[in-house]
A and B are shown apart, each in its own frame.
Chain A
Amino acid sequence: MAQPAAIIGVGQTKHAKARAELSMTGLCREAAVRALEDAGLDWADIDAVVIGKAPDAFEGVMQPELFLADGLGAAGKPMLRVHTAGSVGGSTVLVASHLVESGIHQRVLAVAWEKQSEGNAQWGLAGGRSGGIGAGGAFAPYIRGYMQRTDAPEYIGWQVAVKDRLNAMKNPYAHLQLPDITIEKVKESPMLWDPLHFLESCPSSDGACAVVIGDEAAAKAAPRKPAWVIANAVRSEPSTFPGRDAVRPQAGVDCAHDVYRQARITNPVEEIDVAELYVPFSWYEPMWLEGHDIAGPGEGWKMVDRGDTEMGGKFPVNPSGGVLSSNPIGASGMLRMAEAANQVRGEAGEHQIGGARIALGQAYGGNAQYFSMAIFGSTLP
């Protein structure tokens, strides 16, 4: 049977449009050193290193983990490189967790990163030379589909955009700092991909995130509270096929139900204290609330409208500011896991949700077809 595993250290960079003062290695080390310090460990204590990032074309380095191995202390150890599109940061945590759950290793360092300023991620997201339509262009029709299906008013997206940016003001690592953002400003910002306005979109960020996953003994020896991985799952489905529901992808439904089953959760909205969901465009907050059966059909946008997903609401979503405030693509999924873990550790600082004991971390990628999720608990069940 699988052994218990826990996140015992978390680190992240200050995310920014360009961390021009750092190399790719330097960026990853900023996060990794912080995670090791948080876990009270040194490089030599780490058994294996798992590295995740989105397509290599974003920086123009093929398999960059090969050169990052030196700076991330991997020499002499097993190193794995994960790539599952936008969900990769989440998947990277899960691969590292599996190395501990299987009993193979005791302490594993997982690092996920993107340095968008060193390349052209927009070109990459649009399929490179194949010339696609980019992430916003791909997702906008699904968002329209959601609005039509649920009669959601257009201002719901603007509300999410404001909420996450105001949450980010409580997160010193967040890229965007927009203290003066208002519904009116979001509405008046340029239309990028109808119905998405500029301020409803994530930024392009340089950043990295790192976590140390430990077994039960490592968790007990750690200086700070662990976040126990009480459930984790991945699901994938093909990009497109006749009859596919791209608004509520079945892979997202199945993945959510798998983690709820593992965590013995029957009523997610009541039993989960806080969620960090991958929301690169504002509308994905209500879409995932419904797509993961946290809200019933047509109820997701009403949760947003009622303020349920605000920090003081009944189901806070993205108190860190989320992907809408920082988007180092490969790291964005790991940041969801790391922020969810920090909530149950009581280590989330100013954006801590008081008394959080159960937190959901989620990431998705590709054409809304790759999902990785974990549920973290403050105690081992």
Chain B
Amino acid sequence: MAATDIAIVGWAQTPSVERSTRTEPQLCMEANLAAIAKAGIDRHDIGFTCAGSCDYLTGGPFAFVANLDAAGAWPPIAESHVEMDGAWALYEAWVRIQHGDIDLALVFGSGKSSPSNPLELYPQQLDPYYLEPLGLDPLSIGAIQARALLDAGKATEADFAAAAARSLRDAMSNPNAQASGDHDPADLLKADYVCAPLRAHDVAPVSDGAAAIILATADRARALTDSPVFIRGIDHRIEVHQPGMRDLTSSPSTTAAAKKAGLNGSQIDVAELCALFTSQEVILRDALGLGASTTINPSGGPLGANPVMATGLVRIIEAAQRVADGTAGRALAHVTNGQGLQHNLVCILEGDR
């Protein structure tokens, strides 16, 4: 059975900030209510709700339970949750709508990282027997990956700085961005390393924030809006966990997911890539075969705003926004999960035919 076209008809994100004074359910509530309002639907018409978050960010078991207060779960709702970025909640909802018995779904992703220290936290995301005892943090893995890329001759530190300068400049026009600025790449290269060969500009900030999307069947979408954004394909693939067993300079799971999602060499006008390090942008461009005709991360990407567990959903929102406003005819959103691009999702968006 071929997948049915599903459309994005509403979306919203909170501003990404270093430390929000609001609770995670409050952040989710803001995003959910705004997405529902933008879609112009009654929340009681939503047939399935799916959320993505991670208990460890706030440091409490069952932290995700409180977010249910932002899902409008009374009367009770059909609802599920993934311990992953909200983009995978979108995938689960996209699968659920395929059954044909519901026509609207709410998906949201949220993360409040400010209560924890990411460098202490993330070693616990690694294999507890062989890697966690090494205390390997995401910055170190990112640096190992960047070093591998440099050693392979696939990129230079100047390439990284150019990506950072472009992203931070684009983020200046993104009202939700946490980091932005107009920098000369040559100046950026004068900064000290934070973890060689990475400098501060190469590393995404860590943000508090939430994002939400309303999905609709094609018929419902056309009744709701003149500019539905259709998900033409979506797929995701995971790779082995051990960084030493992967070629960190490539991302075969991204390539495989993109192929399955329908990326066939035709023009992609805008790509929102979940590059948490400038070096990952190089790897992802290569894995997706994106050339100079594709605008990369016009929102500024994760270097501007990185609400962990919603960063991926924000990529889909930013790509959808540009299809809806006519900037892009065809857009691609990429999302990653785990360290060193272990798990990748690709989603291809287009306007109505």
Contact = CB atoms under 8 A, between A and B. Distances in A.
Contacts of B124: 60-62
A28 interface: no
A78 interface: yes
Contacts of B2: 103
A85 B99 contact: no
B79 A234 contact: yes
Most buried by A among B81, B238, B253: B238
Given A55-B62, A238-B69, A66 B342 contact: yes
B338 A236 contact: no
B54 interface: yes
A288 to B, nearest CB: 16
Contacts of B73: 236-238
A219 to B, nearest CB: 16
B133 to A, nearest CB: 12
Contacts of A183: none
A60 B127 CA distance: 11
A34 B238 CA distance: 23
Contacts of A80: 82, 84, 88, 91-92
A104 B339 CA distance: 27
Contact of B76 (A65, A82, A237): A237
Interface in A225-253: 233-239, 241, 249-251
Most interface-central of B79, B101, B129, B256 (chain A CB within 10 A): B79
A61 B124 CA distance: 5
B80 A91 contact: yes
Contact of B61 (A57, A67, A254): A57
Contacts of B59: 128-129
Contact of A69 (B80, B126, B129, B241): B241
Interface residues of A, number: 63
B83 A81 contact: yes
A127 to B, nearest CB: 6
B125 interface: yes
B62 A235 contact: no
B170 interface: no
Interface residues of B, number: 63
Contact of A103 (B1, B81, B236, B256): B1
A66 B343 contact: yes
B240 A69 contact: yes
B318 interface: no
Nearest to B70: A238
A75 B252 CA distance: 11
Nearest to A130: B60
A262 B79 CA distance: 18
Nearest to B66: A239
A267 interface: no
Contacts of B84: 63, 80-81
B76 A3 contact: no
Contacts of A63: 54, 56, 83-84, 125, 337-338
B240 A70 contact: yes
B121 A62 contact: yes
A323 B83 CA distance: 24
B235 A233 contact: no
Interface in A61-112: 61-67, 69-70, 74-85, 91, 94-95, 98-99, 101-104
Of listed A2, A67, A367, residue having the most chain B CB within 10 A = A67
Contacts of B227: none
A75 B96 contact: no
Nearest to B257: A78
Contact of B240 (A59, A61, A75): A75
A369 B76 CA distance: 9
B274 to A, nearest CB: 15
A98 B68 contact: no
B61 A125 contact: yes
A102 B239 contact: no
A308 interface: no
Interface in B123-157: 124-129, 131-132
Contacts of A369: 65, 68
A1 interface: yes
Given A57-B60, A85-B65, 9 more contacts: A56-B54, A62-B122, A76-B256, A99-B95, A102-B3, A236-B73, A237-B76, A249-B76, A250-B76
The 10 closest A-B pairs by CB, nearest first: A103-B1, A55-B61, A251-B76, A102-B98, A57-B61, A67-B127, A2-B99, A236-B79, A62-B125, A124-B61
Interface of A: 1-3, 23-24, 55-67, 69-70, 74-85, 91, 94-95, 98-99, 101-104, 124-125, 127-130, 233-239, 241, 249-251, 254-255, 366-367, 369
